[in-house]
């Protein structure tokens, strides 16, 4: 028997005894880039919650979904077990205090998440909701950046990521925790889950494994089978299970996986067809007549003349370059890559680059990715690298011009899906964006249909006026039309 504090691990049977408990279990919220992209929000700093030691279980134990609930979610994770006391340690020395690495499944019951209001006591603290094992790897023989985590649901691989792609390195998590509390030998740190965590039903089997491919070491598969519990919750004692579509979406990982309809877009097929026929000059005029004077994205032009672009805004914000911030936010699956990797058809990526022309804000690879996902276009008030190649891609791109420099010269990709400024205009996610050779216009969704109809009507009127001028009509009388010409126009159009 090997004793780690009061955590008992049998090296012969490879089993972890839950009779001897660690002092505490600390779990990290969102810590992988892929999970942040899946959730649509990226934390700037780590955040944590406690799980009771009574939630510990071993491989092969059943996980109970209480009667009357529906959203029991699994989260495969790398578990770190502290070997020596850690208090006020640095990231450089943090790994010295970790003794064991193993697989964990951070089970949670989303039906009770709303009642917990962030504490996770009831939804993640139930008996059996923290299985660990089956084998434990010596942390000192492994690199914290080179661990792989995989999860299978009923034999299908659903999670596959590495610690290299974490927002917060494992050493940072230990160092950060140690500046607030002392980590004792035997304490368990659950380090967060990557994309792919989802819901399991009674009868499902979920397996989690951590390995170090370079060293050929693995924990083996931590297996849990879901069973249906008997009885419900006594309403006289506390909160009852409750779910809504937001909880379903987050538990399953997406609206599609949860079987939920996609939210209606402000850009209907009918409105899109109208806007494809409407020049931005006409839209700008109609918006101005309604009191909107700051709805053009100034200074941008299409990389390919003749481009027409219609879609809804998906926003991305760059902040001015700073070395320390680029180090934490510029690498890996950063905000820029997440946006281009998740843009949907009929969406236009709109980038706030502060009008900074001294750097590229996208290049050919990202443009290709957006095109492959069916994006409607890209607008940036910064530069574009690989300009001629981007211009050849079947994707409307509007920019202030070409620049060969990489992103890190002037920018840090910071955050997404928020209100931004681009080319002097305010853009919110879901705003309707229209671009052509005259420039780019932002349409507030509530006005879009009205403005499009009015602009098309005005286009028809202007075409009629132009024809009369060609025939010798007076600009003074026709532009704008006087009462006589107006009556003639309405008579002709009314008869069509």
Span 179-228, pLDDT tens digits: 999 999 999 999 999 999 999 999 999 999 999 999 999 999 999 999 99
Distance of CA 48 to the CA centre of its chain: 20
Per-position DSSP letters for 79-91, written without gaps between them: EEEE-S-BSS--H
Residue 494 has pLDDT above 80, yes or no: no
Radius of gyration of the chain (CA): 29
> Which CATH architecture is the domain 2-252 placed in?
Alpha-Beta Complex (3.90)
6: confidence class by pLDDT, cuts 50, 70, 90: very low
DSSP state of 281: H
Percent of the chain with pLDDT over 70: 95
Residue 2 has pLDDT above 50, yes or no: no
Query: Residue 110's pLDDT is what?
Result: 93
Query: Residue 3's pLDDT is what?
Result: 33
Residue 396 has pLDDT above 70, yes or no: yes
489: confidence class by pLDDT, cuts 50, 70, 90: confident
Average pLDDT over residues 287-315: 95
CA distance 496 to 491: 9
Q: β-pairing, 188-190 with 25-28?
A: parallel
Q: Where are the alpha helices (DSSP H) in 237-350?
A: 245-252, 269-277, 280-289, 323-329, 335-342
Residue 412 has pLDDT above 50, yes or no: yes
Query: Residue 5's pLDDT is what?
Result: 36
| Residues 355 and 380 sit within 8 Å (Cβ to Cβ) | no
Span 221-267, pLDDT tens digits: 999 999 999 878 888 888 888 888 888 988 998 888 888 886 667 89
Residue 1 has pLDDT above 50, yes or no: no
- C-alpha count within 13 angstroms, C-beta hemisphere, residue 132: 30
CB atoms within 10 A of CB 394: 9
Percent of the chain with pLDDT over 90: 72
| Residues 128 and 169 sit within 8 Å (Cβ to Cβ) | no
Which residues are annotated binding-site positions?
363-366, 385-386
Distance from the first to the final alpha carbon of the chain: 93
* Domain at 269-446, CATH homologous superfamily: Ribonuclease E inhibitor RraA/RraA-like (3.50.30.40)
3-state secondary structure 395-463: CCEEECEECCCCHHHCEEEEEECCCEEECCEEECCCCEEEEECCEEEEECHHHHHHHHHHHHHHHHHHH
Average pLDDT over residues 148-161: 96
Residue 327 has pLDDT above 80, yes or no: yes
Query: Residue 75's pLDDT is what?
Result: 98
Residue 334 has pLDDT above 80, yes or no: yes
The structure tokens listed for 29 are 């919220």
Write down the pTM of the prediction: 0.59
Average pLDDT over residues 431-458: 94
CA distance 167 to 233: 38
CA distance 370 to 306: 20
CA distance 58 to 16: 6
The domain segmentation of the chain, as residue ranges, is 2-252, 269-446
Which residues are annotated binding-site positions for substrate?
363-366, 385
CA distance 236 to 423: 58
Average pLDDT over residues 319-332: 89
The structure tokens listed for 284 are 């700008």
Query: Residue 4's pLDDT is what?
Result: 35
18: confidence class by pLDDT, cuts 50, 70, 90: very low
468: confidence class by pLDDT, cuts 50, 70, 90: confident
Q: Give me the chain's average pLDDT, please.
A: 90
Residue 21 has pLDDT above 90, yes or no: no
Which residues are annotated binding-site positions for Mg(2+)?
386
Query: Residue 427's pLDDT is what?
Result: 96
- C-alpha count within 13 angstroms, C-beta hemisphere, residue 113: 17
Average pLDDT over residues 364-387: 95
């Amino acid at each position: 028997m090997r004793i780690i504090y009061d955590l008992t691990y049998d090296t012969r049977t490879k089993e972890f005894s839950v009779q001897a408990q660690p002092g505490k279990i600390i779990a990290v919220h969102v810590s992988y880039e892929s999970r942040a992209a899946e959730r649509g929000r990226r934390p700037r700093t780590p955040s944590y919650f406690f799980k009771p030691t009574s939630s510990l279980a071993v491989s092969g134990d059943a996980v109970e979904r209480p009667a009357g609930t529906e959203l029991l979610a699994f989260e495969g994770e790398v578990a770190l077990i502290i070997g020596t006391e850690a208090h006020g340690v640095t990231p450089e020395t943090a790994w010295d205090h970790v003794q064991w690495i193993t697989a964990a499944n951070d089970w949670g019951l989303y039906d009770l998440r709303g009642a917990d209001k962030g504490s996770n006591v009831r939804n993640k603290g139930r008996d059996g909701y923290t299985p660990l094992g089956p084998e434990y790897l010596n942390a000192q023989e492994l690199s914290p950046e080179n661990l792989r985590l995989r999860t299978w649901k009923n034999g299908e691989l659903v999670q596959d990521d590495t610690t290299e792609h974490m927002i917060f390195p494992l050493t940072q998590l230990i160092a950060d925790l140690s500046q607030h509390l002392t980590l004792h030998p035997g304490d368990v740190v659950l380090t967060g889950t990557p994309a792919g965590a989802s819901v399991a039903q009674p009868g499902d089997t979920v397996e989690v494994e951590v390995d170090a491919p370079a060293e050929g070491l693995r924990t083996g598969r931590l297996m849990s089978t879901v069973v249906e519990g008997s009885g419900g919750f006594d309403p006289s004692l506390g909160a009852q299970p409750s779910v809504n579509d937001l909880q379903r979406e987050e538990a399953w990982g997406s609206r599609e996986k949860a079987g939920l309809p996609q939210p209606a877009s402000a850009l209907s097929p009918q409105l899109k067809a109208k806007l494809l026929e409407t020049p931005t000059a006409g839209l700008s005029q109609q918006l101005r007549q309604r009191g909107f004077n700051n709805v053009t994205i100034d200074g941008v032009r299409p990389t390919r003349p003749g481009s027409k672009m219609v879609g809804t805004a998906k926003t991305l914000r760059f902040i001015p370059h700073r070395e320390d911030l680029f180090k934490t936010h510029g690498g890996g699956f950063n905000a820029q890559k997440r946006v281009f990797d998740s843009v949907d058809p009929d969406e236009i990526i709109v980038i706030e680059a502060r009008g900074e022309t001294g750097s590229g804000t996208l290049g050919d690879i990202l443009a290709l990715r957006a095109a492959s996902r069916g994006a409607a276009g890209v607008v940036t008030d910064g530069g574009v690298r690989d300009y001629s190649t981007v211009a050849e891609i079947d994707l409307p791109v509007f920019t202030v011009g070409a620049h060969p420099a990489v992103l890190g010269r002037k920018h840090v990709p910071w955050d997404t899906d928020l209100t931004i400024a681009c080319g002097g205009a305010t853009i919110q996610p879901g705003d309707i964006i229209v671009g052509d050779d005259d420039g780019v216009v932002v349409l507030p969704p509530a006005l879009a249909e009205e403005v499009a109809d009015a602009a098309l009507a005005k286009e028809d009127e202007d075409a009629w006026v132009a024809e009369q001028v060609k025939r010798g009509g007076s600009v003074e009388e026709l532009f704008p039309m006087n009462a006589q010409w107006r009556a003639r126009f309405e008579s002709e159009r009314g008869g069509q």
